[in-house]
Amino acid sequence: MSANKTLFPAVEFPAIPVRGEQGAYPVHRIFCVGRNYADHAKEMGVEVDREAPFYFLKSPLSTVTSGLTLSYPPGTANYHYEMELVVAIGRPAFRVRTTDAPSVVYGYAAGLDMTRRDLQLDARAKGRPWDLGKDFEQSAVVAEITKAEDFGPVGAQRIRLEVDGQVRQDAHLADLVWSVPEIIAHLSGFYHLVPGDLVFTGTPAGVGPVIAGNVIRGEIDGLEPVSLTIGAAE
């Protein structure tokens, strides 16, 4: 079969700026870890699963860069922020060991896993997939990537989020239930990870709703902050 010209222009996937690089990091897939801070699992009324991490995915096309004003999304009355460390994969990885996992990390970024909490909880209660709550347009906000060698070991860094200058989330990356190498090792048993794959590593306690006019700012020590202004509903 010959390669035909596409019937309409193919979608161009988003790319994320990288500190100190001219070129941007093209997004291929977005994996998200659920319940990866014990205090957040508790506030959601569930236990951390210590047998293995679990995941949901967002479309790469849901990626947006930091610093924008985004419309309040459709279909929800409970739009939440979740501040997260985002891992950018830099090398192909399949069935990697935890000890080898750090070598496949390209870099790290501050990210927001924006969530339609009412739709997520409704789906959870009914045993349905979380897609409507998690995988929607402009739901993955990612700030500039910092290369792994410029960030250093993950652990002591503080992860914080403010809404209109008020602190809502404040924890340390050492609080992650599943560490970055453990997540990569586990995930690479199910997928052939490739450069362009992002992993949102979960959010600490303190998630909550935002409304039009709110300004979100998230920080992780050593990384470019992530920010988002909530606009009016369309």
Binding site for Mn ion (CB under 5 A): 82, 113, 203
CA nearest neighbour of 144 among 202, 62, 88: 88
CB of 180 to Mn ion, least distance (A): 15
Q: Is 121 exposed, middle or buried (0-12, 13-18, 19+ CB in 10 A)?
A: middle
Nearer to Mn ion, 106 or 200 (CB): 200
Nearer to Mn ion, 113 or 224 (CB): 113
CB of 8 to Mn ion, least distance (A): 33
CB of 38 to Mn ion, least distance (A): 14
Distance CA 67, CA 229 (A): 7
| Site of tokens 């914080």 | 160
Nearer to Mn ion, 169 or 203 (CB): 203
- Taking the CA of residue 53 as centre, how many other CA atoms within 13 Å lie in the half-sphere pointing to its CB? 28
CB of 200 to Mn ion, least distance (A): 6
In 3-state terms, what secondary structure has residue 131? Answer: helix
Nearer to Mn ion, 82 or 224 (CB): 82
CB of 136 to Mn ion, least distance (A): 13
Is the Cα torsion angle 206, 212, 214, 220 positive or negative in sign? positive
Nearer to Mn ion, 139 or 146 (CB): 139
